[in-house]
Structure 1
């Protein structure tokens, strides 16, 4: 074990304390709190129309093409991998309805895809931190939509690297093109942009 690495029980205790803190803040402090390997992330996510409208359009478009047994879920609960000490809440989770049963966080390995809409307040959370965390959690497909630029990417094919699991395939797109998320293709026509 590296010299500065906390012993396993201390890491678990610290993670659980952060999780209790974050869950205690739900609906009391503006924004969203998530836990990464580096600690707690606070995304202020000021309630801007384009972010919410993009999530709405994408959810509806996905639900038109995914099988009836699946949903494009927005909202709570989080997805959590306690062994990796990561708790996230994707903007949209494509998941089988049966995998939503039970209490507590979703198992990230049951997600078919995680979809994020980049926020103005913390774009690195979507383009850097989640790009690292989602393959580590075993989420097979990660789609990013960026209303700042009208572009995005779909990341797939988790493979091992010296820095841990990473996505091997990245397909960039610009708004207006069709995009394939897992097995389903949707349009990105007329998605809103920030500042427009």
Structure 2
């Protein structure tokens, strides 16, 4: 049997809506965070909660100190959704104009200036692999990853086309203690917590 492109798109859309409805039905009743990727539903337990959330808090505050008042480093809901691509994410921090958050439902990824993710100990590949694929796919121009397991991270920019789909062309690695530039703004990374048992990071 041959499936026409329009039929394939409708089938993919129905599958996405089914996953979306499932996520909405369990999101408030099951611990952790549910997101939808090109490979299906991801359940991130975001463990350990304390140091993950402390890292997110400190990054948000440091970004907002150097950004104009009309730009925010937002944490929490709403989700970022690109239904045609079948992706729904909830970044740890999204850099966005406050005016662009005045919407009903999910945020348009085209409105986002940058996304920051703090790697969770329970599912590091979600941040280092899946999101590195999904964010350029939906047009997020800057993706910054902070990894409390290692005290290091990377900032990815410059989306370009590849045979496997859109990917970031530029990656700048850093270790905690160095200043890091995310979009137009530079922040310090000293004093960010590490997960228990993680090696301490020293600037190169």
The TM tier, using the shorter chain, reads: over 0.9
CA–CA distance in structure 2, aligned partners of residues 72 and 45 of structure 1: 19
Residue 146 of structure 1: aligned partner: 147
Residue 202 of structure 2: aligned partner: none
Residue 165 of structure 2: aligned partner: 164
Which consecutive aligned stretches of 4+ in structure 1 deviate over 3 angstroms post-superposition?
A: none
Residue 34 of structure 2: aligned partner: 33
Q: TM-score, normalised by structure 2?
A: 0.92
CA–CA distance in structure 2, aligned partners of residues 69 and 175 of structure 1: 28
SS of residue matched to 1:18? helix
Instruction: Give 1:47 deviation, angstroms.
Output: 4.7
Instruction: Give 1:46 deviation, angstroms.
Output: 3.2
Tell me how large the CA RMSD over aligned residues is: 1.5
Out of 54-63 and 39-48, give the one that drifted further. 39-48
CA–CA distance in structure 2, aligned partners of residues 53 and 102 of structure 1: 28
SS of residue matched to 2:84? coil
Deviation digits for residues 66-104 of structure 1 (CA, Å, limit 9, x no counterpart)? 111110000001000011000000000000001101101
Unaligned 5+ segments in structure 2 are: 198-204
CA–CA distance in structure 2, aligned partners of residues 172 and 187 of structure 1: 14
CA–CA distance in structure 2, aligned partners of residues 12 and 66 of structure 1: 37
- Tell me if structure 1 keeps the 8 A contact 2:48–2:121: no
Unaligned 5+ segments in structure 1 are: none
Residue 200 of structure 2: aligned partner: none
CA–CA distance in structure 2, aligned partners of residues 69 and 128 of structure 1: 32
Taking the TM superposition and a 5 Å limit, the aligned residue runs for 1:1-196 are 7-195=8-196
